[in-house]
Structure 1
Amino acid sequence: MASASQIQRLLAKPASFTPNFTSEHSVVLPHSLDTVFDKLGCGETLEASVRLSDLCSTFLLTTVDHVSLPEGQSLTEVRCRSLPPSDGSSNGALPRQFFELQEVVPLLGGLYKHTVTIAGSLTSDREHKAALYESSASGGILIWKLRTFEELAPDETGQVRTKVEEKIEGKAPMLLRSTVEKETRRAHTTHMEQYHTIFTT
């Protein structure tokens, strides 16, 4: 894994930014909302969904704390990664799980492999059926990804269903923006379409 100083530098980058690329996608899973949230909305189970990406080579859960949102705000409108920790027993405090991972990205048709170090956090709000993934990567790429959960009516066979919707806002250096945006949209769709597989283990 990366050195502690490298992780600190990544986490020190501003959590608030003006995005220059976006992506949105949704999937419907044949499971109850509680079951889906347990797998996709909680920090302790984050590794399973992250490792659906074949780029992920290493993953580590680090510290966990709690954070209190500004009054009247929700995960849809805040940046939690840089907020100071709060007392976990305080009313409305949300669990925040920090993590580190590395991705190995093939370049030049696979002739060269580039390792990207990523540090970030996942903040969970079960009451409002949302989770916020925020990351900072070597190379200057910042990601804000809101994941929301909606319980749907059962299908015609009576199967329970939950809709998972994700919205990504990201910032990349201008020279990389076009490439990063294209790859993010492709990888985002592919990644979410694999979510159903983590419920079979």
Structure 2
Amino acid sequence: FKPNFSCEYSVTIPQPLSTTFPILGTDQGLERVISLSYLASDFTTLDKDTVTVEGKLFDASVRTAPYSNSGFPRQAFIFKETIKILPGFNLHIGVQGTFTWDEEQHVSLYEILTDKGVVVRKLRWFEAVDDGTTRVRERIDGQCPRLLQGLTQKMARDAHKAHMDSYHTLF
């Protein structure tokens, strides 16, 4: 996996980590979080299993790893994205992925593959702030066909910011 686009963003949620992490960092709020994106529709959960990671989840890639009897929980899912290219012309994209999390380290990993050949790895980590709020940081690394790189980078950055800026509405 050699990324050719990336972006990073953070928000502060006016809730404690104990409230924020279960919704944004586990499968408890997965459908609601994905559905916040103006691009997403038709979300469906698939199998849930566990996966073993050598080292930390922060550094792992587990979407295609075999399941194990212990380790981190991993939730598979599918959904559709609709990207408006021009008035009256939409690009429909099938997305399949997994969401894996480490409750002890307050880290989650979102990995997807689209039917257009785009691969995305989104790492989300949580930090309790002294005033009782939670800082949520995300880093997206993706790989797409070179022809789509410029458009994908811009759309990823804009959609990522808009998506994270709406996280507070889940609380």
Identity %: 37
Question: What TM-score, normalized by structure 1, do the two folds share?
Answer: 0.83
- Aligned-residue offset at 1:44: 3.4
Aligned residues of 1:44 and 1:97 also touching (Cα < 8 A): no
1:162 matched to 2:146:
no
- Where structure 1 has 5 or more consecutive residues not aligned to the other structure, the ranges are 1-16, 155-159
Moved runs in structure 1, 4+ residues, more than 2 A?
A: none
The number of residues matched between the two structures is: 171
- Cα shift readout 1:9-43 (whole Å, capped 9, x = no counterpart): xxxxxxxx000011000001111112111110112
Q: In the aligned structure 1, how far is the partner of 2:4 from the partner of 2:26?
A: 28
1:193 aligned partner, one-letter code: D
Deviation at 1:113, TM superposition (A): 1.8
Which of 167, 171, 177 lines up with 2:143 in the alignment? 171
- Residue 165 of structure 2: aligned partner: 193
Bigger fraction of residues in strand: 2
Please state how far the C-alpha of 1:45 moved relative to its aligned partner.
1.8
SS at match of 1:81: coil
Partner of 1:81: 63
Contact in 2 for aligned 1:172/1:180 (Cα 8 Å): yes
Secondary structure of the corresponding residue to residue 186 of structure 1: helix
Over aligned residue pairs, what C-alpha RMSD do you find?
Answer: 0.9
**Alignment correspondent of 2:75:** 97
* Aligned counterpart for 2:155 among listed residues 183, 186, 191: 183
Task: Tell me, in whole angstroms, the C-alpha distance in 1 between the residues paired with 2:48 and 2:29.
Answer: 13
Q: TM-score, normalised by structure 2?
A: 0.97
Paired residue for 2:115?
Answer: 138
Q: Does the aligned pair in 2 maintain the 1:75–1:146 contact within 8 Å?
A: no
For 1:167 and 1:75, locate their aligned partners in 2 and report how far apart those are by CA, in whole Å.
14
Pairwise mapping of residues 10-159 of structure 1 onto structure 2 (< 5 A)?
17-70=1-54, 73-88=55-70, 93-108=71-86, 110-154=87-131
Report the Cα offset of residue 105 of structure 1: 1.5
Match of 1:4 in 2: none
User: Which amino acid in structure 1 is aligned with residue 81 of structure 2?
Assistant: E
Aligned to 1:8: none
The runs of 5 or more residues in structure 2 that have no matched partner are none
Structure 1 position 126, deviation (Å): 0.6
Letter in 1 for 2:61: R
Superimposed CA distance per residue, residues 174-196 of structure 1 (whole angstroms, 9 cap, x where no aligned partner): 00001100110011111100000
Q: Pick the structure with greater CA Rg.
A: 1
CA–CA distance in 2 between the matches of 1:168 and 1:54?
A: 18
What SS class does the counterpart of residue 83 from structure 1 fall into? coil
